[in-house]
């Protein structure tokens, strides 16, 4: 029998080799929410597109209308139950979605179009709902309007909700879109729908795998906030997986293993069942030692309350970077002050007594909801992004600042905001000025608020590297966004298929830039930490440790892997390796073009 590591997270490479030897296949996709899950596949291939056109006798039209209104009532009742039963960590994200669905169930155009097809063309209810939704869907998707495209997604979800409501009240009746019981299963679908995510009766999948989808879609964002391991864009998924197939989902690595050998599956299930949210034995309160005893401090990153909960369970001493985008992206309009304040209060309450750093809203025109009304930009990464967007949209900035000030009023530890995509001290001062004005207004109104909110910066741009000495004098802390900095420093689009290889390893010039950042922070006495997916890469982390960096910000799911790398690091030899790597004049990723390219 093949021997497997005790930890599922550390077993991906060995499992991949075992699968090749013992049967099954390995599929890859894009990670939306990391994590590990085992379970049987529950395939949801049914969709509105698959609903056939069925007609009814004219004498049955009235009964069909009664079926329609009965399904609407059950769908509304289901939404009300979900609204009332929402857990605190889900409330803000799911409420806006459910309220949108509830409104569409009473939309006069939707209702009249369905009724017209039933009465005028003798369509069966299922066929009428599918046709109306798909007609709207085609129109909305052609129009270059994000708002209409979002409405198309919502209407499709509502159509599925209505048809699934039929199965609740009409046992034995024909229904082409049955509700699925996802408890204990891994959902396999062409695309992820919010209806599946918010299924009634507590039916929640252990994991989600789809053949299409992007991390910007609201359903995938909701999956992330719910803490469900999710993989999207998996090519060949629907052809390779059948209902009931055993699956091993390692979403953190972007891999799903289909029909692994029984002995492999059994060992992974035992490892998963025996896993507990405890830190590695050599990791005490977020501190890990290298081979020579040097302390490396770990802080947690996250973007949802389940991630914060796991960070506390693992003993992280601080939340070094909390991404605040999800609530803004899920809402249909700028979130209200009360909504934001309650969201941040819930976050700080979950964090307990540890320090928390919240990254201010970080969006571009390519990843922004319709209510922001951002113009189409030829190069979103160099347009209204990060702090530029916030300074251009003062209401958004000030509302977020006020919400953080109010929520942090009673937090027992330091609360800090981090400014994304900073370029120079002018932007830092502008945010500080807005913060001062909002704090003064709260004091004038007698509203309890935090009086010592710290303001740090996130280094991503070459300009910020050059001006770091100035920034270090005025910022409360510095966080290096490693992967973003490499992208901007090398002027390389990480999503470009032909250029992605340039970013696989750390460029020597990036190492020199990080060394300069560290020197400036030390000289100014400003705390400096580094954050980014590359920290989980053994070579990259080793090079950074060789530079002398001692503060890392990582997702809780990476703690075991990062701690293992640190524990095995011989700093003396690693310093020599880093010195050699940073002295090179070209990237280790670059290779000469083939001879036939001349």
Integer CA distances (angstroms), 365 to 216, 388, 492, in order: 12, 12, 19
Nearest to 189, CA basis, from 167, 209, 219? 209
Q: What gap in Å lies between CA 300 and CA 281, rounded to an integer?
A: 18
Give one DSSP letter per residue of 474-498, joined into a string.
H-S-EEEEHHHHHHHHTT--TT-TT
Query: Which domains does the chain carry?
Result: 8-44+181-274 (3.50.30.10), 48-169 (1.10.274.10), 287-556 (3.20.20.60)
Q: What gap in Å lies between CA 595 and CA 598, rounded to an integer?
A: 6
Nearest to 455, CA basis, from 510, 534, 400, 410? 400
Residues of the chain with pLDDT under 70: 1-23, 45-50, 82-98, 137-153, 167-181, 194-203, 213-222, 224-226, 263-285, 330, 494-501, 589-598
**Alpha-carbon dihedral sign for residues 333, 158, 219, 94:** positive
Q: Report the 10 Å Cβ neighbour count for 173.
A: 11
Integer CA distances (angstroms), 377 to 133, 365, 367, 374, 394, in order: 31, 7, 11, 8, 20
Contact 487/449 with Cβ under 8 angstroms?
Answer: no
What is the predicted pLDDT for the residue at 108?
80
Integer CA distances (angstroms), 8 to 14, 254, 556, in order: 10, 14, 15
Alpha-carbon torsion angle 252, 30, 87, 335, nearest 10 = 130
Contact 478/527 with Cβ under 8 angstroms?
Answer: yes
Integer CA distances (angstroms), 520 to 42, 179, 234, 471, in order: 54, 58, 44, 9
Give one DSSP letter per residue of 375-418, joined into a string.
PP-S-GGGSS-THHHHHHSHHHHHHHHHHHHHHGGG-SS-EEEE
What is the predicted pLDDT for the residue at 19?
37
């Amino acid at each position: 029998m093949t021997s497997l590591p005790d930890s599922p997270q550390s077993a991906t490479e060995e499992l991949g080799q075992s699968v090749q030897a013992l049967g099954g296949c390995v599929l890859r996709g894009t990670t939306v929410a990391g994590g590990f899950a085992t379970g049987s596949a529950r395939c949801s291939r049914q969709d509105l597109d698959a609903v056939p056109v069925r007609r009814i006798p004219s004498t049955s039209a009235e009964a069909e209308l009664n079926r329609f209104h009965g399904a609407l009532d059950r769908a509304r009742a289901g939404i009300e139950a979900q609204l009332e039963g929402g857990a605190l960590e889900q409330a803000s994200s799911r409420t806006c979605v459910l309220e949108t669905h509830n409104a569409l169930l009473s939309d006069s155009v939707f209702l009249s179009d369905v009724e017209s097809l039933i009465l005028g063309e003798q369509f069966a209810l299922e066929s009428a709902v599918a046709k109306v939704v798909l007609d709207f869907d085609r129109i909305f998707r052609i129009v270059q309007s994000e708002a209409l495209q979002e409405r198309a997604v919502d209407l499709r979800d509502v159509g599925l909700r209505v048809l699934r409501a039929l199965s609740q009240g009409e046992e034995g009746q024909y229904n082409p879109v049955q509700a699925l019981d996802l408890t204990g299963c891994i959902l396999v679908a062409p695309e992820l729908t919010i209806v599946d995510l918010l299924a009634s009766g507590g039916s929640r999948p252990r994991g989600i795998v789809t053949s299409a989808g992007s991390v910007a879609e609201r359903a995938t964002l909701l999956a992330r906030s719910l803490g469900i391991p999710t993989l999207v864009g998996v090519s060949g998924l629907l052809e390779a997986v059948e209902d009931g197939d055993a699956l091993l989902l390692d979403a953190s690595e972007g891999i799903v293993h289909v029909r692994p050998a029984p002995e492999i599956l059994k060992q992974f299930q035992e490892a998963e069942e025996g896993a507990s949210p405890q830190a590695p034995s050599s990791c005490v309160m977020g501190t890990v030692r290298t081979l020579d005893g040097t302390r490396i401090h770990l802080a947690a990153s996250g973007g949802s309350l389940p991630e914060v909960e796991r960070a506390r369970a693992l003993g992280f001493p601080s939340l070094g970077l909390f991404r605040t985008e999800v609530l803004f992206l899920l809402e249909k309009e700028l979130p209200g002050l009360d909504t934001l304040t309650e969201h941040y209060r819930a976050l700080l309450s979950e964090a307990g007594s540890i320090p928390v750093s919240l990254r201010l809203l970080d969006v571009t025109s390519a990843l922004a909801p319709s209510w922001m009304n951002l113009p189409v930009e030829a190069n979103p990464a160099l347009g209204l992004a990060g702090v530029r967007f916030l300074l251009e949209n003062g209401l958004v900035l000030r509302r977020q600042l006020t919400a953080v000030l109010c929520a942090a009023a009673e937090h027992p530890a330091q609360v800090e905001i981090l400014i994304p995509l900073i370029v120079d001290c002018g932007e830092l001062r502008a945010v500080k000025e807005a913060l001062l004005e909002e704090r003064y207004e709260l004091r004038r109104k007698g509203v309890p608020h935090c009086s010592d909110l710290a303001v740090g910066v996130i280094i991503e741009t070459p300009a910020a590297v050059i001006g770091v000495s100035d920034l270090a004098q005025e910022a409360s802390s510095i966080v290096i966004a490693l992967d973003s900095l490499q992208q901007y420093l090398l002027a390389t689009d990480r999503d470009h298929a032909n250029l992605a290889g340039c970013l696989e390893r750390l460029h020597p010039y990036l190492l020199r830039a990080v060394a300069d950042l560290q020197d400036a922070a030390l000289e100014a006495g400003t705390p400096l930490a580094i954050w980014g997916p590359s920290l989980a890469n053994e070579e990259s982390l080793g090079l950074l440790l060789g530079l002398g960096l001692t503060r890392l910000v990582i997702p809780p799911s990476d703690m075991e892997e990062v701690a293992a790398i640190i524990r095995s690091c011989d700093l003396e030899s690693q310093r020599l390796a880093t010195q050699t790597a940073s002295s090179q004049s070209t990237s280790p990723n670059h290779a000469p073009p083939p001879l036939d390219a001349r």
